[in-house]
Amino acid sequence: MQPVCAYTDYFVVVTGGNPRQTKGIWDEVHGRLKQENDLLPRSVEGALEATWIVGDYIDVVVHVFTPEAREYYRLEDLWDDVPHETVEAATA
C-alpha cells in the first residue's frame, strides 16, 4: 500500500466461507496478535454482522470477507496499482 496510501503499509485480505467462519478467522487473528505480540487494533468494524470485518492495526489493515462481500467490494480492483502477493490457504 505504501506507494499509494498514506494511512497504512499493508492490507491483508482474507475470505471465510460464511459469516460464522469469517468471525472465527477474525477471532483467531485478533487473539494471536494480542497474545503473541501484545497488539490491539486501533479500531474494528463489522464484527457483529461478520460479512466484512476490518481490523485497523495502523501499519496493517486486516479485511476478513465472506465470498459475496469480497466479490461486491472488490478491494483488489480498487487498489490494482498496488503490488499484490497471494498466499495459499493455511491449514490447521
The reply to whether 4 falls in a domain is no
List 52's β-bridge partners, or say none. 65
The reply to whether 70 falls in a domain is yes
The average pLDDT across 22-28 equals 97
Residue 84 is predicted with a pLDDT of: 67
Residue 48 is predicted with a pLDDT of: 94
Q: How many domains does the chain have?
A: 1
Task: CATH number of the domain at 29, please.
Answer: 3.30.460.10
Q: Cell 492495526 identifies what position? A: 57
pTM reported for the whole predicted model:
0.84
Lowest model confidence (mean pLDDT) among 40-44, 47-51, 53-57, 80-84: 80-84
The reply to whether 40 falls in a domain is yes
Residue range of the domain that includes 38: 10-78
What's the pLDDT band for 10 if we cut at 50, 70, 90?
A: confident
Q: Residues 51, 66: contact at Cβ < 8 Å? A: yes
The residue ranges of DSSP E strands in 1-92, in sequence order, are 10-15, 43-45, 52-56, 60-65
The reply to whether 87 falls in a domain is no
The reply to whether 86 falls in a domain is no
Residue 63 is predicted with a pLDDT of: 96
Residue 91 is predicted with a pLDDT of: 63
The reply to whether 3 falls in a domain is no
The mean pLDDT of the chain is 88
